[in-house]
Amino acid sequence: MGLSKTEQFTEEDILIARFAKALGHPARIAILRVLIQRKACICGDIVDELPLSQSTVSQHLKELKEAGLIQGDIDGKKVCYCINEQVWRQAQETLGVLFQRYTSCDSRCC
């Protein structure tokens, strides 16, 4: 059907999946990389860095914003995006915990 039965799962799992889903496209990783590299936030010249049209980049920015990972502040004619530090740390934490929860049983299966 296309959308998940989100009600049936843990809040935690839904949150992790939401963060992961936002990271689930190369363009969005590339966008985040640009935002991280410049340390300060930059505006829509992210578009110039990506091999995608302006509208498509805008859509990706929207998804990252909806996941909370970035924020955009209007600065005159332009819009300034940057990592949302707090949410970023939350994503780092929740995903990190998931990964660490697997403490090497012997790699053989069964």
Partner DNA sequence: TTTTATTATCGTAAATTTACGATAATAGTT
Partner DNA sequence: AACTATTATCGTAAATTTACGATAATAAAA
Are 34 and 81 within 8 A, CB to CB? no
* # residues near DNA by CB under 7 A: 30
Instruction: Output the DSSP codes for 26-52.
Output: HHHHHHHHHHHHTSS-B-TTHHHHSSS
Residue 83 interacts, among DNA, a copy of itself, none and using kind-specific CB cut-offs from 5 to 8 Å, with a copy of itself
Picking from 73, 98, 70, 109, the residue whose alpha carbon sits closest to that of residue 13 is: 98
Among 15, 16, 34, 52, binds DNA (CB under 7 A): 52
Residue 33 touching DNA (CB under 7 A): no
Q: Does 38 bind DNA (CB under 7 A)?
A: no
Give yes or no for residue 21 binding DNA (CB under 7 A). yes
